[in-house]
Structure 1
Amino acid sequence: MLHTEFFYLAILTLTFSSLLVILLTYLIIRKAFDIRKRRTIETYKQRYNSVIFKLLTDGGYSRELNPQNNHQLKAIEEMLSRYANVLEGEQEKKALSALASLYLKNYYRKRLKSKRWSRRMNVLYHIENFHIKPLLEDVYKMVKKRGLSYEETVHILRILASFQFEDILGLLTKDFSTLSEFEYRSIVIR
């Protein structure tokens, strides 16, 4: 009787230990991939830094900045996001918006259709931050969809208001009349 209990306990312990080792191996491999991805993005950021700075100050287009994959697009996005936080002049902000529209518009259009809520929300924040006006129609189409979260809906309305969308008041009074007073203020102030 005691031997069978020890046997089952040993099997249970061995199974549990094996599961922990498998989980640890998976996490180590995943972390290695994440580190490699981060290094690749940082390399692209170093390569593109001077080019993006020149484009923001002088304007125009550069053949050096021709993203071919998601890592390059992510590097450009991070660089533009960093510049968006520190730029003050109207001319520089317009150049940043034009650059973001040129390089990130199609990438963001695709990610707006993602099934993952976090990806859609991140794209909405970047569209607002970079002021990517060519995506206004895509954002407007999103607000008409069913199944959006409350946060997505409010953020889409904020974006439409900041882009001075012509029918924002009609949307607020007809379709979204149940928002809180705080949300109305944050939308209309824009």
Structure 2
Amino acid sequence: MKPSNHLSHIIQSDIYYEPLAPEFFAGVISLGNLVHGDNYLTDALLADYYTKSFVGNTNASWVALYKNKVVGFRLTFAHTQWQTDEWCTPTLWPVESNTVCYFKCNTVDPAMQGCGIGSALLRKSIKCAQAQGAEAGLAHIWLASPGNSAFKYFTKNGGQLIKKHPNKWRYASIHEGYDCPVCHGFCECEGAEMLLQF
């Protein structure tokens, strides 16, 4: 259930944001696996993602905290720290691929949705990505999110659809132990390749 406007205002004043750091890893993994399915995040994966968040001392990944608990996070790879793959279509991007950061994941505790956490995390990641030298950010949006909320959220914040990719997470479900929360058996969810220019 989303909070009322009054409660949302009270909660927003109590939410604070910090760059991702190892002391938040356990909370990030727990929330990520709750929302996205078992083994979506592991200690090894998150440690790797954390390293990819940096250019120099600037970290583009952030967490949201409420009463010292992780209630949201955005994992963002710096534009120099990731490689395009078969799910990317750089020939359709309006900017050079080497200026694009990667929005790996945005997650908000279902009980805290509607409090502006996702948008606040995105703004903080964009500011850091710009400082790192990025001109845009790419995301693969989960089109099976409840009410297609992920696509709506990213579109509302300026994301443009580039291409839809069937079975985006199937490999992870077959070979990496990912347990999709909506598919029975192996994941067949479609991912939307979306780009947000800064």
Measured against the shorter chain, the TM-score band is under 0.3
Q: Which has the larger radius of gyration?
A: 1
After TM superposition, the score normalised by the length of structure 1 is 0.26
Of Structure 1 and Structure 2, which has the larger fraction of its residues in helix?
Answer: 1
Of Structure 1 and Structure 2, which has the larger fraction of its residues in strand?
Answer: 2
After TM superposition, the score normalised by the length of structure 2 is 0.26
Higher-RCO chain (CA-CA 8 Å, sequence separation at least 6): 2
